[in-house]
Amino acid sequence: MIGTMLNNRYELLEKIGEGGMSVVYKAKCHKLNRYDAVKVLKKDYNNDVDVVEKFKREATAIANLSDNNIVNIFDVGSQDDINYIVMEYVRGKTLKQIIVENTRLSYERTIDIGVQIARALDCAHRNNIIHRDIKPQNILVTDEGVVKVTDFGIAKASSSVTITNSNKIIGSAHYLSPEQARGNFVDVRTDIYSFGIVLYEMITGKVPFDAESPVTIALKHIQDEPVPPKQLNIAIPNSLNSLILKAIQKDPNKRYQTIREMLNDLLNIRQNLDYEVKMSNSDTDYTRVMSTDDVKRKMADAADTDEDDIFDEDDDDVKTRGRKKSSGNGKKILLIAIAALFVILAGVAVGVLASGGIGSLFAGGGTGITDNMKNEEVKVPDVIGLSQDDAKDKIESKGLVYVVRDEVNSSKKKGTIIKTFPDVGTKVKKNSEVGVRVSSGPASQEVPEVKNYDLSQAETLITNSGFKVGKVEKEYSNVKENRVIRQTPNGGEEAQKGSTVDLVVSLGPKIQTTVVPNLVNMTIDAAEVKVEDAKLKIVKIPVEVNPSEEPDKVGKVFEQSIDANTKIEIGQTIKVKYGVAEKGYSAPNWENKTLASIKSQIRQYQKNGITVNIEGDTTGNAVVQSVTAPSSTLYKGDSITITAKVPDTDQNPMQEDDAE
C-alpha cells in the first residue's frame, strides 16, 4: 500500500498503526500540502456489508463534530477495493503508551488529561453521539499535551435517550460497562463508566478488573466490586478517588448522569483537592439480580458465539462478524438438563450428609449393619491441628468414617484440620461419618506495586492491602533517598494474605571521598596532575608577583582553597593560586635631558605602578643630572629618583647638545 495515491490526492507514505480490522497510514495531501492520517479497511472485510457500514459510520458519526479534543475527519471514500477515511494526523502517543511508559500518572496529569477527555465526550453527547469504546488505545496525546479522542468506529447516533444493541456485546472487555456486558440498553452513561475505568488505570497503572478471558472480565464488571484506587495509590486525593468510584458504579443510576456533571467535578477538584464529590443516595437505587432465565440465555448465547466474535480486547477496531449458526436446540436443552440434574444431586448429597450419612438412605433391615454396631457409640476424636493423614488414621481407629467436608482459607498451614462435623467430643455411633474442614492456607491476593514510593507510603500501602512489611534493606543507588527500589514479591504477583513483603530502599547515590593533597610550593603543572589523581577538579588562578621580591612564588602554588588532608567528596573543585612574574620595565636613561622632554615617559612609568621622585629643580627646562633605580629592570612598586638642575645661563647651548 505504501506509495498508493488515493483520489489523486492522498499519497500513503508509511504505516503508523494497525488494528483488528484496519491499518492506519501517514499520508501526504498533495492538494493542501499537509500530512494526514488515512485509515484503510483491511481487504479481508471488504465483502462484509456490516463491517464496511461500521467503518463508514465512524466518519459520519463525527464528521460534523467540532472540538479541539476530537480527531477531525476530513474525507471518506472508496477506490477500487480500498475503503478509507482521511483524518487529522496527530504527532504524539496513545494514552496507553504513556501509562505503560510511566507505570502510573500523577493525579495532576490524570486530572488534566481527564478534563480534556470529558470535554470531547461532552461535545459528542451534546450531538447525540455515544462513543461506546472509550479506552486508552483510542485516546491520543500530542507532544504538546493536547488530548485527541479517536476511533468512533462503534459510536452510535441516537435520536432518543437510549439506544439498544443486538445480542452482540460490543466494546473492549477491560473498559466495558455492565450494561454493555449484558447486551442491555445503553446511553451516555456507558461512556461515563468506561471513562471512569480509564481514569482508574491512569492513576493506579492497572485496570480494576482483569482475567484470562474477555468473558470472565465482563462478568467481573457485572459482579465484582473494584478495589478503591486510593488503596493502590495512597497519593490520590480523596476527591478524585470518590469521583472515579462514582463513575464506575455498576448501576447507571448511581453514576454521574451526564458527562458535563463529571467534568464540573473534575474542574472543581483541580482547583481544590478537598472538594467533596457527592455520591448518589437515591432511595430508588437497587441491586439487580439476574434471573435464572437471564443466566440460561447468557449461557446459550455464549455457547453459540466465539469470544473473539464478541469482544474487541486491545485492537483499534471491534470485530462484528455474525454469530455462528447453532448446531441445534437439542444440545442446549441437554446441557442445561444435565447441569440442573447435577445441582439437584449435589443438593441431595449435602442433605444426606447433614442428616447422618449415606447409611440413612437405606433405613430398615438388610443393611448389613448389626444392631450392636448401630448402638455402640464413640466420641469424635480431637484432630484439630493435625495433618489430613494423621487425622484420617485417628478417626478411622475409632471405627468412624473420615470424610473431607470442604477446604477453606485460614491462617493455619495448608492441609491442617481446623474443624470437625460434628464437633470434637460429640458422641456418635460407630461407622458414622466425621466430616473435617481442611485449611487451604491463607487466601492469596495481588501484592501492591510500591516501587518508587517513599518508604512510609510503601509501608502504609502494604499494610492496607493485607500484607506485612518484612525485611527492609538499604543500599546506594541513583534513586532518590528513602524511595523503594526493589520489592519481594514483585507488585502484581499473587501472595498469601498476611505474608510479608520485603523491601530494598535507596540510600541515594553513594558518596565516595578522597583526601585533599598538599599543593603548596608545587609547580602549577604538578599540582594539576596531583588533583586529577585525587579525582578532584582544579581551578587555576594566576596572581602576578614581583620576582625580585618573591622569586619563590613564580610558577608555583602558594595558596589552595581547601586545606591539605581534608576528606571531601570526589568530584569537588579546589581553587589554587599560583605566581606569575609581573611585567618588567627597563630602567630609563634620562641624564642630560630636560624634564619637559621626558614628561610623557615619566607618566607611563607612573601608570605602570612605578614611582618617579624628582629632586632639585622641577621646572621644565631643568636638566636631569642623575637617575637612581633599584635595578636595570623595574617592576610595579619600584621607585626611581631623578636629580635635576637648571643649567647656567652662560653655558654654551652647543656644549649642552654635545653633552647630550
pLDDT digits (tens, 9 = 90+) for 525-541: 999 999 999 999 999 99
State whether CATH 3.30.200.20 applies to domain 5-88: yes
pLDDT of residue 532: 93
- Residue predicted with more confidence, 558 or 57: 558
Nearest to 201 by CA among 149, 244, 255, 150: 244
- Split at pLDDT 50, 70, 90, the class of 650 is low
pLDDT at 307 over 90: no
pLDDT of residue 81: 87
Q: What is the pLDDT of residues 588-600, one digit of tens each?
A: 999 999 999 999 9
Give CA–CA dist 470/653, Å, rounded. Answer: 110
The CATH fold of domain 513-581: Trypsin Inhibitor V; Chain A (3.30.10)
The CATH fold of domain 586-659: Trypsin Inhibitor V; Chain A (3.30.10)
What is the pTM (predicted TM-score) of this model? 0.48
CATH superfamily of domain region 93-280 = Transferase(Phosphotransferase) domain 1 (1.10.510.10)
pLDDT of residue 545: 87
Nearest to 168 by CA among 149, 187, 191, 186: 186
Question: Does residue 648 have an active-site annotation?
Answer: no
What share of the chain has pLDDT > 90, as a percent? 52
What radius of gyration do the chain's Cα atoms show? 46
In CATH, the architecture of 444-506 is 2-Layer Sandwich (3.30)
> Other C-beta atoms within 10 Å of 416: how many?
20
Nearest to 42 by CA among 319, 230, 353: 319
> Other C-beta atoms within 10 Å of 406: how many?
11
- Mean pLDDT of the 451-455 span: 91
Annotated active-site residue in 44, 80, 81, 143: 143
Q: What is the pLDDT of residues 395-412, one digit of tens each?
A: 999 999 999 988 887 778
- Mean pLDDT of the 284-309 span: 40
Domain ranges of the chain: 5-88, 93-280, 375-439, 444-506, 513-581, 586-659
Mean of the per-residue pLDDT values of the chain? 81
- Mean pLDDT of the 419-433 span: 91
pLDDT of residue 413: 86
Backbone phi, psi, residue 335, to 5°? -60, -45
The CATH fold of domain 375-439: Trypsin Inhibitor V; Chain A (3.30.10)
- Mean pLDDT of the 327-334 span: 37
Residues linked to residue 10 through DSSP beta bridges, in sequence order: 6, 29
Residues linked to residue 387 through DSSP beta bridges, in sequence order: 416
Strand 377-379, strand 139-142: pairing? unpaired
Q: What is the pLDDT of residues 130-184, one digit of tens each?
A: 988 899 999 999 988 999 998 875 555 443 333 334 444 445 789 999 998 888 8
pLDDT at 293 over 50: no
Q: Would 444-506 and 513-581 be classified into the same CATH topology?
A: yes
Nearest to 590 by CA among 625, 614, 615: 625
Q: What is the pLDDT of residues 194-234, one digit of tens each?
A: 999 999 999 999 999 998 888 889 889 998 899 999 999 88
Q: What is the pLDDT of residues 368-397, one digit of tens each?
A: 334 444 568 999 999 999 999 999 999 999
- Mean pLDDT of the 264-271 span: 95
- Split at pLDDT 50, 70, 90, the class of 84 is very high
